[in-house]
Chains A and B, each alone.
Chain A
């Protein structure tokens, strides 16, 4: 499906709003804590929730802003420019918990779960990865056994962003081991405080240190059947659909990082003088700037075209329509493509910025070293870039053509 994308006045106003709000209100609150597992930015998150930035893509009737996936990607891009930890917190909440709950939930679940998460009263998290199942999501072992009107969950989940802070956790668990990936996994919404839900260790990470990454332990955790999101056995569809859209958001964060590195490098290289002239006069610096600008331009176009496509797809699913298989495959392929491209562009951009800044880049004050540590995770989480390449390649080989 060919889409020509341009930003409208609404999107431009949203971008300016996020930029100025982040610069004036949120940025002063943020200081990276390099001890232990970092400090969750409670006050900054609260301010963003109060301003509706935790429910941007969700329709107004469910408490969101109704600005769609394009609005969400603009938000994540601008957050990613300022602070990757905040972008991660919003992404884990909106991209992979709130949005799939809205898409696959019924009206009662939308009132119970979607509304409080979209209007900023509650934080969400997503729990799929386990110690023995990461990229091979179908290999999860957390069990959910039916017992009357409830399911009893047992198992461990790791790498849950917001896991220890969330009021709602979207958990994938095996309801029928005999079916495996094809109908054996179901999505459950587990509420904070449910007996049997425990927070395990909090990760001490190299980057995105202000976001909280928790282990969640389920010990005879009883979840009512009305908390099943989507159909029984459709858990992997819920998870993979969430991850597709989530990847578009991650890619937008990567675009934000490239733009930020370019802007800072450009500014620095025009001011920093060596041998009597700005270092921006040197061809080696100019090439790096040109590469960053090219990456920013191309990835921005691709990300927002995909976001438009994802928006249509999600709205079809939310209306309980059945999208054509071709559209689903196209979404998966393109989301994987932009995730690979933008995340690796972000990696290249921070390397270039580090090179342009030289010794200054490793100093704390310029926050290039923090970006260096933060950006690497975009290539890893919500499906490593290796997995994304497999998704693209399988689709190509299956269809035997590029378009």
Chain B
């Protein structure tokens, strides 16, 4: 399905929330032959951290009268477990909370590390008609996800904000508080941007009975596979190529007054992890 037809955000700003769908632990069983955890048929849910990110996305969507899209990799990507079919329990939960549409990236076996996940997500975001803000939960049950926001920002060539909360979205710029090192400071940055969302500071968004029903009957969930993303026939090359050296724009605070960032410093992708860690970003992620 064409993304325009599926999501139809029109001229509205689009907020994208990346969530992980995790299987409910009380439904897991062990496959006695393969001696591995069998998640087939297990119900997928959002963690509390992912729900926080969706709630933040709903708040931002409402502020800018925009459109909220939730993206999840299938559980192979989210849990590193093989042989799991695509299910969408977590995305449906996000729809019930208030998201406008869901996108499930069903890419078997291709999303087992943070870099590949970031590439897949970046590819998907590029295929959207529009994406103004990309929100990623800043803490996840899967420690690999801590690297995701920075990588995603680099690949999308936009600013990254670590551990943000109390966000305000004004269409072409976004403001809020972010954790820089051990200090929380106010920031403002232009869109598009990737924001790692810290729990707290968002109004809780509870699904209503109406939306629970709609999440299964009328709200759209689109499932994309590699072929949907591979519009130029070179996707696999891009996904599995060695990391390129690209520039990363990192949003830095300018205390005490909030300012726009127009000339962010360049950072090498090869040393991204070390630099982020040194600056205290990884703790925030």
Number of A-B contacts (CB under 8 A): 59
Prevailing SS type, chain A contact patch: helix
Kindly state the separation between the CA atoms of A53 and B208 in the bound complex, as whole angstroms.
8
Q: Are A17 and B45 in contact (CB under 8 A)?
A: no
**Smallest CB separation, B110 vs chain A (Å):** 25
> Which residues from chain A contact B240 at a C-beta distance below 8 Å?
none
> Which residues from chain B contact A319 at a C-beta distance below 8 Å?
none
Q: Which residue of chain B has its CB nearest to the CB of A57?
A: B209
Instruction: Sort chain B's interface into a size bin.
Output: 10 to 19
Kindly state the separation between the CA atoms of A255 and B8 in the bound complex, as whole angstroms.
44
Kindly state the separation between the CA atoms of A13 and B206 in the bound complex, as whole angstroms.
12
Stretch at the interface among B194-202, B210-218, B272-280: B210-218
Q: Are B206 and A25 in contact (CB under 8 A)?
A: yes
Q: Are A9 and B45 in contact (CB under 8 A)?
A: no
Known: A9-B89, A13-B89. A24 touches B209 (CB 8 A): no
Q: Are B206 and A65 in contact (CB under 8 A)?
A: no
Number of interface residues of A (CB under 8 A): 23
**Smallest CB separation, B199 vs chain A (Å):** 14
Q: A198-238, CB under 8 A of B: which get 1 and which 0?
A: 00000000000000000000000000000000000000000
Q: Are B210 and A13 in contact (CB under 8 A)?
A: no
Q: Which of A10, A12, A25, A52 contacts B210 (CB 8 A)?
A: A52
> Which residues from chain B contact A20 at a C-beta distance below 8 Å?
206
> Which residues from chain B contact A56 at a C-beta distance below 8 Å?
209
> Which residues from chain B contact A52 at a C-beta distance below 8 Å?
208-211
B130-151, CB < 8 A from A: none
Kindly state the separation between the CA atoms of A12 and B206 in the bound complex, as whole angstroms.
15
Best-surrounded residue of B204, B213, B215, B216 (most CB of chain A within 10 A): B213
Q: Are A51 and B206 in contact (CB under 8 A)?
A: yes
Kindly state the separation between the CA atoms of A64 and B237 in the bound complex, as whole angstroms.
50
> Which residues from chain A contact B209 at a C-beta distance below 8 Å?
14, 17, 51-53, 55-56, 65, 67, 71, 75
> Which residues from chain A contact B89 at a C-beta distance below 8 Å?
9, 13
> Which residues from chain A contact B215 at a C-beta distance below 8 Å?
10, 13
Closest 3 CB pairs of A and B: A52-B209, A65-B209, A52-B208
Having A13-B216, A16-B93, one finds 7 other A-B pairs with CB under 8 Å, namely A13-B96, A16-B45, A24-B206, A25-B206, A51-B206, A66-B213, A67-B213
